[in-house]
Amino acid sequence: MQRPVGPVAYDCVKVIIVRDGSALLFSEFGQRIVTVGDVVVLNANVLCGSEPEGHITTTTIYLDTDYVIDQVFWQHAWLLRDRLDAQRFTEAVYSEPSQVLRLGEDRTGMLMPWLDELVARSIDGGFEHNFHRMQALWFAIADVVTPFINVSPVRQSPTQRAHSRPTLPRCRRFAPVRDEAHETRATLARDIAANWTLGVLSARVHLSPKQLSRVFTETYGKTPLAYLTILRVEEMAHLLRETDLTIDAASRVVGWASRSRANEAFQECVGMTPSAYRRMHLAGK
């Protein structure tokens, strides 16, 4: 690449390995020079542009955010109850929007054969047949790269976790999903805008409100109404990204009559207001 690239953002994590040349990166995090031996890690929705110093050759790996969260979940399964916990844990641990990792030419040189094979297998149309090999190649690359990633401290002891987020200490265990929990989740997902109450939901599955709350929380790590809030926030974020609906209209579509309640729930789950989220998305287009 020999021409500048304006700031763009992707709804995925990007891992960029510099193979040759150098460039100036510029974005919300400032300006940084990257050269051979460097690996750039960008979180989802982080604006970043570049201006080559002569030329630069890179290989970029795009990681779906759901895939990253799943991997973090299994890596820390002893600590996390469910995937919803894993999302917040991931955001807390990998809180820096971007990082430039100085691996050095020797270490990045180790990656080149794996990168070349990964690229070849990803563009030949045989993704389904190459799936496990591509997974193996990515894990080999990640094994070299991830020790250099800066992580934020997290609370891990039972006492600390109870203090930071009121909940009883617990050990992860595998158990079949109760039919009542599965049916309640499906009911919520089918109509997130309905005015659901714990009483209405529990009557549908023939449990008391207290029993349903316990059964659902054991399965999904959240109460039914807390889970509904997450579903609404996810759909509202989708509407803000993909439609021209106003924030008031989007909040009503997902079931909130009050914009203040929508703002509160959205900021708690996403970390920013709906207005800031839409501006960030528009800036990345």
Q: What is the pLDDT along the chain (285 residues), one digit of tens a residue?
A: 556 766 777 778 899 999 999 998 887 667 889 999 999 998 887 778 888 888 889 999 998 888 898 898 888 887 776 665 787 788 888 888 889 999 999 999 999 999 999 988 888 777 778 889 999 999 999 999 999 998 877 554 433 333 323 333 334 444 566 889 889 989 999 999 999 999 999 999 999 999 999 988 887 778 999 989 988 988 898 898 889 999 999 999 999 998 999 999 988 877 788 998 888 777 655
Is residue 138 located within the same domain as residue 192?
A: no
At which residue do the structure tokens 């929007």 appear? 97
What is the per-residue pLDDT for 164? 29
Closest CA to 216 of 262, 255, 179: 179
Residues 204 and 118 in one domain: no
Q: What are phi and psi of 95, to 5 degrees?
A: -85, -20
16 and 141 share one domain = yes
Is there a domain that residue 190 lies in?
yes
Indicate the number of domains in the chain: 2
Q: Is residue 172 part of a domain?
A: no
Q: What is the CATH number of the domain that holds 12?
A: 2.60.120.280
Note whether 118 and 79 are same-domain residues.
Answer: yes
Among the candidates 126, 148, 170, a domain finishes at: 148
Do residues 197 and 128 share a domain?
A: no
Q: Does residue 157 belong to any structural domain of this protein?
A: no
Question: What pLDDT shows up at residue 126?
Answer: 72
**d(Cα 120, Cα 209) in Å, to the nearest integer?**
54
List the CATH number of the domain containing 206: 1.10.10.60
Position 18 scores a pLDDT of 94
For the entire predicted model, the pTM comes to: 0.58
Q: Residue 98's domain spans which residues?
A: 5-148
Give residues with Cβ within 8 angstroms of 98, minimum separation 6. Answer: 27, 29, 40, 41, 42, 43, 46, 48
Residue 98 and residue 23 share a domain = yes
